[in-house]
Amino acid sequence: ELGQYRHYMQKEIFEQPQALANTLEMIGTAQRLSPHLFGSAAPELLDGVTRVLILACGTSYHAGLVARYWIESLAELPCTVEVASEYRYRESVPDPDTLVVAISQSGETADTLAALKHARHLGMNRTLAICNVAESALIREAALKFLTRAGPEIGVASTKAFTTQLAALALLALTLASQQDWITGEEEARHLAALRHLPVAVQKVLELEPGIAVWARRFADKQHALFLGRGHHYPIALEGALKLKEISYIHAEAYPAGELKHGPLALVDKEMPVVAVAPNDALLEKLKSNLQEVKSRGGELYVFADQDSAVSEEPGLHIMRLPEHYGLLSPVLHVIPLQLLAYHAALVKGTDVDKPRNLAKSVTVE
Ligand code: F6R
């Protein structure tokens, strides 16, 4: 069943173009999105939404963090993202006009399910589940649903579920934007074209695997690693750090690059590899000065840039370029090399990639 692959995780990383194509299939060639994508009650339940609250755990939470940037910038709706296990136990202020979005690969994560029930109990009935399993408890609990079509994900470390969640969340952001007339038909069509091109763009990024495997060898004997990103790539840094720690057992932390000098810079020395997500966006110049801070402390830098990023190799600063600059959807592409980096670091270390110690695929207990 593994075919040419050594592990399910590797297979699932390489299935991402197909998983994205399947998830996006339902939009066909449409130039405008219909709210019906999210269920028959969507026109009514999405109408009049004034805020969005996203609830999830782990990797699914990171997908929510990316979506916050999209929802606020495209739909101009305030968006909060909260770890489900925190939300369910704290006192919060309910608001019936908030769209509550629960994201889960399995749809059985106890905390995410309980958080959604908690929101409903507080009187929030505009609920949407984004989930990869049609018959799951989460799907039954929510008024609206969107099924990602990643196919079964067997590796404990989530990969294709994450990128398909991002595709679903991009569709949600566009639907909300379109409904409120925040974007023109032309802009919407342009974003949809970019979404449709994603499988091809991801395929090209996957071709970077051999170079990433070489980088991974330099990580495997390290105790710690730092991941930096800015803007909608900060959650991608978080996801890269999570992947590395869960399968290679290397301690990794992610910071928004601007936070570096507020503490973590103290940790940087030549034993601390620093990974930076550095696409060519408005934040690149700022990120570059953060990279200099790392370099001047002897830290070894591994930068994932794209074709247009104005950064260049120098001693201690290694660059890998993604073939395309992808604007709003760039986080979908930039997570791929971080998944591959974690996978190859784990291979070198010889850990049980598909079943990392102490972890379960579906966390059905709190
Ligand atoms: C990390 C990972 C976990 C899950 C989390 C939520 O690679 O897989 O962090 O993302 O346990 O699981 P779901 O999405 O099934 O609710």
Checking phi first, is residue 150 left (phi over 0); if not, alpha (psi -120 to 50) or beta?
Answer: alpha
* Number of other residues whose CB lies within 10 A of the CB of residue 365: 8
pLDDT for res 311: 83
Q: What is the pLDDT of residues 36-52, one digit of tens each?
A: 999 999 999 999 999 99
Mutate to test the pocket of ligand 1, among 159, 353, 363 (most ligand atoms within 8 A of CB): 363
Percent of the chain with pLDDT over 90: 80
Q: What is the DSSP letter of 265?
A: G
> Is 164 in contact with 19 (CB distance < 8 Å)?
yes
Give the pair of three-digit tokens for residue 90: 């704290």
Percent of the chain with pLDDT over 70: 100
| DSSP codes joined into one string, 105-141 | SSS--HHHHHHHHHHHHTT---EEEEES-TT-HHHHH
ipTM of the complex: 0.99
pLDDT for res 116: 98
Does residue 287 register a pLDDT over 80?
Answer: no
> Is 97 in contact with 50 (CB distance < 8 Å)?
yes
Cα(328) to centroid of ligand 1, in Å? 24
pLDDT for res 365: 80
User: Could you tell me the pLDDT band of residue 366, with boundaries at 50, 70 and 90?
Assistant: confident
Question: Largest Cα–Cα distance of the chain, in whole Å?
Answer: 58
Does residue 12 register a pLDDT over 90?
Answer: yes
Mutate to test the pocket of ligand 1, among 131, 138, 158 (most ligand atoms within 8 A of CB): 158
Q: What is the pLDDT of residues 102-155, one digit of tens each?
A: 999 999 999 999 999 999 999 999 999 999 999 999 999 999 999 999 999 999
Backbone angles phi, psi at 12, to 5 degrees: -70, -35
Q: Which residues line ligand 1 (CB under 6 A)?
A: 57-60, 104-106, 109, 112, 157-158, 242, 246, 362-363
- Does pTM surpass 0.80? yes
Q: What is the DSSP letter of 314?
A: B
How far apart are the C-alpha atoms of 27 and 196, rounded to whole Å?
Answer: 9
The residue among 124, 332, 105, 129 whose CA lies nearest residue 232 is 332
pLDDT for res 183: 93
**Paired strand residues for 176:** none
> Is 254 in contact with 237 (CB distance < 8 Å)?
yes
Burial of 295 (0-12, 13-18, 19+ CB in 10 A): middle
